[in-house]
Amino acid sequence: MFTKEQTKVMKPVLGRKYAADVLAVLSSKKIVSYKNMPYRENTIRAVFGCKQGNYEIENAILKVYTDRLQAVKQMEWEKEQLLNANTL
């Protein structure tokens, strides 16, 4: 289960529209609820908001977080390269 401190760190990177990406990760891995139905966005938000624990959803959230963090770092690197190229 995520702690409040962990969610505070992850929230700026994940933003507001993270649940759809988490659902995509879950469906690509064919992970469903005990009723054999796809998880709902409310459940994903409850897990991220520390109200409910679910190992599979937590792993999917972490996957989306690392993917987005890597994308942010890549954009920052490209920005630096462009700015450095313009100063030469």
Q: How many domains does the chain have?
A: 1
3-to-42, 64, 77, 83, 88 alpha-carbon distances in Å:
18, 17, 30, 38, 46
**Which residue range forms the structural domain that includes residue 45?**
4-87
What angle is formed at CA 17 by the lines to CA 36 and CA 55, rounded to 5 degrees?
Answer: 40
Span 30-71, pLDDT tens digits:
999 999 999 999 999 999 999 999 999 999 999 999 999 999
pTM value > 0.85: yes
Quick one: pLDDT at residue 87?
66
